[in-house]
Amino acid sequence: MVPKDLKYSKSHEWVKAVGNNTMMIGITDYAQEELGDIVFVELPKVEQQLKQQESFGVAESVKAVSDLFSPVSGMVVAVNEALGKQPELVNKEPYTNGWMIKISLAAPAELSGLLSAEDYEKLINEGSK
Amino acid sequence: MEKVIFEYHSQSTSYVPAADPQAAKKHIPVEYLGVEEVILPQVSEQDVIRHFTALSKLNFGVDNGFYPLGSCTMKYNPKINETVADFDGLAGIHPYAPEECVQGALQLVYELEGFLKEVSGFAGMTLQPAAGAHGEITGVLLIKAYHQQNHPEQKRTVILVPDTAHGTNPATAALAGYQVRQVKSDDQGDIDLDDLQRNLGPDIAALMLTNPNTLGLFEKNILEVSRQVHKSGALLYGDGANFNALLGLIKPAELGFDVMHFNLHKTFSTPHGGGGPGAGAVGTIKELTPFLPVPQVIKKGKKYFWKHQQANSIGKVRSFYGNFLIAVRAYAYFFALGAEGIARVGRQAVLNANYLKHKLENYYPVPYGRTCMHEFVMTPHHDWAVSTLDIAKRIIDYGFHPPTIYFPLIVHEAMMIEPTETETKETMDTFVNALGQIAAEAVQNPELLKKAPLTSPVGRIDEARAGRQLILKYEKGRDAR
């Protein structure tokens, strides 16, 4: 499942514009499927500055611990507190209630470098061969 | 399933009475008595015995059966180790005993270090660290001390770690205050030389490398890796987790490693836990010996002494001299095998792993298929409707311990299998037959595997729930189910 209206990173995060220069970020359905049942999500503090591709947190599943990478640069303006008690939201609703952080975008030009839904679908189809 | 001990209520009705806490109270000065009542299990002696006997029957260890847990080297530990560790003169000594009263113990430490130097080629050795990861942090601190002492003006703040590394490597580097950068593997499963070259520079303190790596492959470019690392001014750290493959065949110092830890519980047959504690000896080249932890055992004439002072030492990393009785077991192991036996360990471990790999390749894909060392990594077939987890759980039903799964991370659905040198061909053949049957079941009856294990005291555990709702202690009245 790859929603058409989102942008994607090669490291399997999605980006969604949610208002005035603010981007919502999470991991894709493919990523949560690969990780397996997620048991813990570590997220950054609000106001932390992130560079593009910098690690913003960690997702721990029953299989592995994986870094989460920010697809864009900017300042964290919100984190999904619900994941503290219910990390399984990432598995169940990766594109909605399983979101991870919101970022105030520092360099809007970075968006054009991200993958479209079509390109991302190609990427994961190649990966699973 | 056996209940927890707190759920027993046997005291009042048992024929063999338990100790009476009220009677004991009379003998304790009132100022030392607690104010709150402590909830302790109310269990008769007989029920205690039955409880722990029941639990011990649920345990699976290498003394019960085949335990091919990759990268953990679950070899059979000769029982002579335990006999020797139980000698009064070793088990009964005090760490503050005067040197002249414990010459034998000091000699044992000195000689075990000597044996480890002999098989590794290193000039210095410490037995202080109490576990493999503890050995890692000790080794990385030696590297840090070396850089600070020799060129304090350089800013070497990064440690490189391959993408196949054990998780402890990046954790160790971070704990020692370094930044961690990952180096890719190439399509052969070796460290990617181009990516290594790109990453090496004046900011790199060391590369942490496991050889053979966690794919079970010998890093065939190790000499070139070592040359590049040293040329850049960095040091080469060796993770000795997989040293069993090399024992008696290759000395790591000759491959260019500057410092390396040895898991005595893996390679040198000391307990892995339960019977624990651990020991993670660390060996170094001559240039790093001034930084080794104190105290060290030294020999003058025919006598042995503690040396407590050394100007550039990183200091103590463990109370006294580490887990001495674990060192005793490793010492006994060296003598049980002798020089000739030790020389055969690596050879037989590699032969056993290749035998298993060759047989299992008939049923399971092996993504990096070249001749392996002491272990190898295989996967389920792509079109099977079962996962590695399902296969691992089904292996329990056939009476074996499952292999390491989902590691290394670069192999999708990895199963990492390490037979060790102590298993017979008959045992391995039985395992191959079981894995062959499981492969057939995966095609014909995948639902069976998804329900496995069916014969164990507990069925499939909900690992996600266990991880999300950690319950680490008993609480009265809480329903654990």
SS3 A4: coil
Find the mean pLDDT for residues B342-366: 97
Classify the C-alpha dihedral B449-B444-B408-A70 as positive or negative: negative
Confidence of residue A129 (pLDDT cuts 50, 70, 90): very low
Sort out which chain A residues have CB atoms less than 8 A from B167's CB and list them: 65
Q: In this predicted structure, what is the pLDDT of residue B14?
A: 61
Confidence of residue B124 (pLDDT cuts 50, 70, 90): very high
Contacts (Cβ under 8 Å, ≥6 apart) of B71: B166, B214, B241, B242, B375, B404, B407, B416, B418
pLDDT tens figures, B56-114? 999 899 999 999 999 999 999 999 999 999 999 999 999 999 999 999 999 999 999 99
Which of B468, B469, B470, B471 should be substituted to probe chain A, the one whose Cβ sees the most A Cβ atoms within 10 Å? B468
Query: Percentage of chain B with pLDDT > 90?
Result: 82
- For chain A, give every domain's residue range: 7-110
Which of A39, A54, A125 should be substituted to probe chain B, the one whose Cβ sees the most B Cβ atoms within 10 Å? A39
What span, in angstroms and rounded, lies between the C-alpha atoms of B126 and B289? Answer: 10
- Closest chain B C-alpha to A126 CA, distance in angstroms: 14
pLDDT at A63 over 60: yes
Q: In this predicted structure, what is the pLDDT of residue A27?
A: 97
**What is A7-110's CATH number, 1.20.1600.10, 2.40.50.100, 3.10.129.10, 3.40.190.10?**
2.40.50.100
User: What count of CB pairs under 8 Å joins A to B?
Assistant: 22
Cis amide prior to B202 (ω within 30 degrees): no
What span, in angstroms and rounded, lies between the C-alpha atoms of A59 and A67? Answer: 6
Q: In this predicted structure, what is the pLDDT of residue B11?
A: 58
Q: In this predicted structure, what is the pLDDT of residue B6?
A: 85
Nearest CB neighbour to A64, from listed B409, B464, B468 = B409
What span, in angstroms and rounded, lies between the C-alpha atoms of B360 and B350? Answer: 15
CB neighbours (10 Å) of residue B249? Answer: 15
pLDDT at B120 over 50: yes
Inter-chain residue contact A88 with B464, CB threshold 8 Å: yes
pLDDT tens figures, B274-312? 545 889 999 999 999 999 999 999 999 999 999 999 999
DSSP string, B71-95: TT--PPPPTHHHHHHT-HHHHT--T
Q: In this predicted structure, what is the pLDDT of residue B481?
A: 47
- Rounded alpha-carbon distances, angstroms, from residue B51 to A43, B7, B58, B172, B274: 43, 11, 11, 39, 17
What span, in angstroms and rounded, lies between the C-alpha atoms of B427 and B318? Answer: 40
- For chain B, give every domain's residue range: 5-58, 80-336, 341-467
Inter-chain residue contact A62 with B167, CB threshold 8 Å: no
Q: What is the ipTM of this complex?
A: 0.75
pLDDT tens figures, B155-190? 999 999 999 999 999 999 999 999 999 999 999 999
Q: In this predicted structure, what is the pLDDT of residue B470?
A: 83
Sort out which chain A residues have CB atoms less than 8 A from B407's CB and list them: 64
Find the mean pLDDT for residues B227-252: 97
Find out whether B336 and B356 touch, Cβ atoms under 8 Å. no
Find out whether B223 and B255 touch, Cβ atoms under 8 Å. yes
Find the mean pLDDT for residues B195-214: 97
Regarding pTM above 0.95, the answer is no
Least confident of B193-207, B273-287, B305-319, B388-402: B273-287
- Closest chain B C-alpha to A19 CA, distance in angstroms: 33
pLDDT at B480 over 60: no
Q: What distance separates the 2 farthest-apart alpha carbons in chain A?
A: 40
pLDDT averaged over chain B?
93
The tokens for B27 are 């003998």
What span, in angstroms and rounded, lies between the C-alpha atoms of B41 and B471? Answer: 19
**For helices B388-397 and B425-444, what crossing angle results, to 10°?**
120
Confidence of residue A20 (pLDDT cuts 50, 70, 90): confident
State the CATH class of domain B80-336: alpha beta
Confidence of residue B17 (pLDDT cuts 50, 70, 90): low
- Closest chain A C-alpha to B195 CA, distance in angstroms: 18
Nearest CB neighbour to A39, from listed B406, B407, B468 = B468
Sort out which chain B residues have CB atoms less than 8 A from A64's CB and list them: 406-407, 409
Gyration radius (Cα) of chain B, Å: 25
State the CATH class of domain B341-467: alpha beta
